Amino acid sequence: MYRPGMSEAAIRSVVIVGGGTAGWLTAALLARALGPALEIRLIESAEIGTVGVGEATIPQILHINAFLGIAEDDMLQRIHGTYKLGVQLNNWGRLGDSYIHAFGDVGLPLGLLPFHHYWLRSRKRAGAAPLWAYSLNAAAAAENRFGCPDKVPDSPIGGIRYAYQFDAALYARYLRERIPEGAVKRTEGRVVAVNLRGADGFIESLKLESGESVAGDFFIDCSGFRGLLIEGALQTGYENWQHWLPCDRALAVPSARTAPMRPYTQATARSAGWQWRIALQHRTGNGHVYCSRCISDDEAAAQLLANLDGEALDEPRPLRFVTGMRRLAWNRNCLALGLSAGFMEPLESTSIHLIQSGIARFLGMFPDRHCDAVLADAYNRQTRFEYERVRDFLILHYKATERDDTPFWRQCGAMQVPSALTQRIDLFRRTGLIFRDAEELFAETGWLQVMLGQRIEPAHYHPLADDLEESKLQAFLADIRTLVTRAAARLPLHDDFVARLGALPTAAASSAKQERALLRSAP
C-alpha cells in the first residue's frame, strides 16, 4: 500500500501467521498505530487450535486496552471477565504457607526509605502486623472485595491496582471483532512452505495449502510453539531454561462456577509442580503445571481433578512445553511473538504482557524493508533483558522453598540459579535492600512479597529507619493500617461489583451442560 510521501523503502505490508491472543492483539495494535499506511494480513487455520492456558493478566494490560479504545465494562461482559488484585501462593515456602503477591503499593515511603525498612524494624515488637496488613489490594482480596478507586479519599494511600481474569479465547475473538472493517484481511488457511530470498535469506512469501502465494515486506510469527517462520524457516535457535524452571507439562480443565468469585488468581504448589485456579463469570479455569520426570501424567491428572472446587466440565487437556526463549525474537524480516518467541509458565500471569510489550517495542522501533541489523539487535537485547528478569522472578518461587517432602522440591531448593538472582537474594537476606534493575517488569514490592512470603528473612534493615522515634514509628504504622482497613471495608463485594456488568450467569445458567456449550463456542 503506497501513499504520497512514503519512502520507497517503507514497509507497506505485514503478514501475521497465526491467530489466538498473540495474532489478534498484534493485528489490533498494528491497525490502531499505523492505520491505512499498512496492509495487514492475518493467516490462521481453524484446524489448528490455540493453547489458551493463560486466563489471568497483570495491570499493564489496562494501558494497551486504553490505547485500543476498549471500554472495560463492555469487554468484561463479552469475555466473561472478572477482576484480579494479585496472586495467592499456597504451599510454596512450606506446606500450609499462604501469602499473596498483591498488585499496588505496600505502605508508604517515609523520607528516603521504602516502607518495608520501617516495617522490618517494627517486627521486633510482639504482635507486629504482617506486611500485607499495609496493602489495600491484599486487604481487599482477603475479604473478596473489589473496587477501582484511583486513591483512598482524604489520605496519601494509593488506590486499587488491578488486572483481569478472563477467557483468553474470547479475548482474542473480542479483539478481532473490534478491528475496523477492512483494516486487517483474514485468510483461512495453512502455511505449507516458506520461500526465502536467495540474496539475504529474508522471507519473501508463504505458500498456503490452497496453492495461494502470500508475499509481504515483514512477517510476524504467532504460530505457537512450533515457530513456523522464526524456527522452521529461519532456524533461529531456542534457549532451554528447564534446568531452572523444571516443569515441562500442563493439564488444563474448566470446572463449574462457584461463589464467591475470588478477585485474585490462586497458585497452589503440589508434589511436583503447581495448580492454578482462576475465577471467571461462567466457570473456573484450572490447570496443573508439573515436571514429568517427577510425576506421571495420570498422577498429575488425578491431583488436578481431586483439587477442583466445582464439577469438572471436560477432560483435562494436555500441553507439553519447553521453558525458554528464542535466541532472537527479531531475525531478518521476521518477528516472533507469543509462544513463538518463548514460553514461561503462567505462575505470575506474564504471557499476555510479553506479547503486548513485544508489539509495543516493535512499534517503537518500526523498521523499513531493509530491517537494519542495528535496530534488530537493540530490539533483541531489550527483549532478552525483559525475558531474563521475568525468568529470574519465576525461579525465585522455586528456589526459595524449605519443602523437602518430595524429590521435586528438594531439587528446586538445592539448584544453582542465575548469578543475578543469587546476588539479589543475598543482598536482601543480609541488608533488607531491594533494587529494581532498570525497567524490569516486577517492581521492588513484588520481589519483597515473594521473598518474605517464602521465608527469606533479612538480617538487617536500613540504619536510617532507626532515626524515627519509637512512638512516631508506631503511630505511622497504625495510621496506615487504619486507612487500609477502612478503605477495604468500604469496597463492594467482588461478586456484586461484577454483577453490575449485567452478564453474571444465573444459577440455572451455570449447569455443566451449558458451561460446556459456552466453552466450545469459543474459537
Q: What is the residue whose three cell numbers read 466445582?
A: 310
Quick check: is 84 catalytic?
A: yes
Measuring CA to CA, which residue among 343, 321, 455 is closest to residue 399? 455
Radius of gyration of the CA atoms of the chain, in A: 24
List 84, 151, 399, 513, catalytic entry: 84
Strand pairing report for 184-188 and 39-44? parallel
Question: Cell 461462567, residue?
Answer: 282
H or E stretch covering 44: strand 39-44
Query: Counting beta carbons within 10 angstroms of the beta carbon of residue 184, is it exposed (0 to 12), middle (13 to 18) or buried (19 or more)?
Result: buried
Block residue for cell numbers 517495542: 361
Strand partners, 205: 195, 215
Confirm if 141 and 199 have CB atoms less than 8 A apart. Answer: no
Cβ atoms of 183 and 31 within 8 Å: the answer is yes
Kindly give, in sequence order, each residue whose CB lies less than 8 Å from that of residue 453, ignoring residues fewer than 6 positions away: 89, 92, 93, 97, 99, 100, 101
C-alpha angle 223-55-236 in degrees, rounded to nearest 5: 25
Residues assigned a catalytic role: 84
